[in-house]
Amino acid sequence: MMRPLLLALLAAAPLHAEVPRVVADIPPVQGLVASVMGGLGAPDLLVPAGASPHHFALKPSDARALQNADLVVRVGEALTPGIGKSIAALSAGATVLDLSGLPGTLALDMREEAVFAGADAAQDGGDDHGGHGGHDDHDDHAGQDHAAHDDHDDHGHDDHGHHHDGLDPHMWLAPQNARLWLTAIAEALAEADPENAATYRGNAATAEAEIDAAMARARARLEPLAGSRFVVFHDAYQYLERSLGLTVLGAVQMSDATAPSPARLAALRDAIAATGADCVFAEPQFDPRLIAAVSEGTGIRVAELDPLGSALPAGAAFYPALIDDLSGRIAECAAP
């Protein structure tokens, strides 16, 4: 006798919306999404730890995740040109949040040269780059909204004799971008899940404060090393350079991970010999033999940086941990 009444009451009860199913393209973006979702859910990841987004191809499990997603959060097609069209096709029923296209995002042009022009001026400490002790997070005038150019796909060619248009896609390494993106992620989740909107917005505010704290630690760590000069494996750190006032002399590979020409490697060796650079940084995603080609016989210290934080645990604390990890490795390699 009670069963029909119980079923009627259950049918009349309000249904709680499911937490959105979210897919993020790379670990730093997954970390930002995780910090906004908090304990409500965990975003899936497309490009796994240790893989290069520049050359990534989707697996069947990735395709299923995209088909089932309510929200896809990605840096932009310039970072993952090989899967951009697939993301759009497979996630047709989802909202796709293209972070690189958000108004106010700091977007810098790709650098073509092996040895960067103006590297000697990067340590002025008082420009719009944030410097040591500055506050980069509200400093948007140095960048532009260049989202319309993010369809660039030149990789796979040698950099000698080719022109590379487009933007440097490593925009997550500007903490001011990460803070901006947290708000956009919270709003996208709030729209998909209004019941938990206040939680998403509160989590985003907490995550912004944690990024600020990580940047303060990074500046304090690097302040004593203000005159240090670095060479990096691939030109992924332009945004971090501006935020922390780093002097990077040049990169083995361009920001789209194009294979370097012999002339590019020779130019870097000459720059290292001329300047007495303090450290050259390898990356776990790329061939370490290219680092040996520019550092062998120079006496320069070699260490590893990973702009994707592949060795860091996933979760809400990922992005501040990435800033801590990068600044700590730079400081350790440059220390006297």
- Share the mean pLDDT of the chain: 83
Sign of the alpha-carbon torsion through 280, 107, 97, 215: positive
Q: What pLDDT does 172 receive? A: 98
Nearest to 143 by CA among 182, 115, 102: 102
Domains of the chain: 22-334 (3.40.50.1980)
Element (H, E) at 250: strand 247-253
The token pair at 107 is 């977007």
pLDDT(300) > 90: no
Q: Name the pTM for this structure.
A: 0.82
Contact 289, 259 (CB under 8 A): no
pLDDT in tens, 262-297: 999 999 899 888 888 899 999 887 877 888 888 887
pLDDT, position 118: 64
Q: Is the pLDDT of residue 132 over 60?
A: no
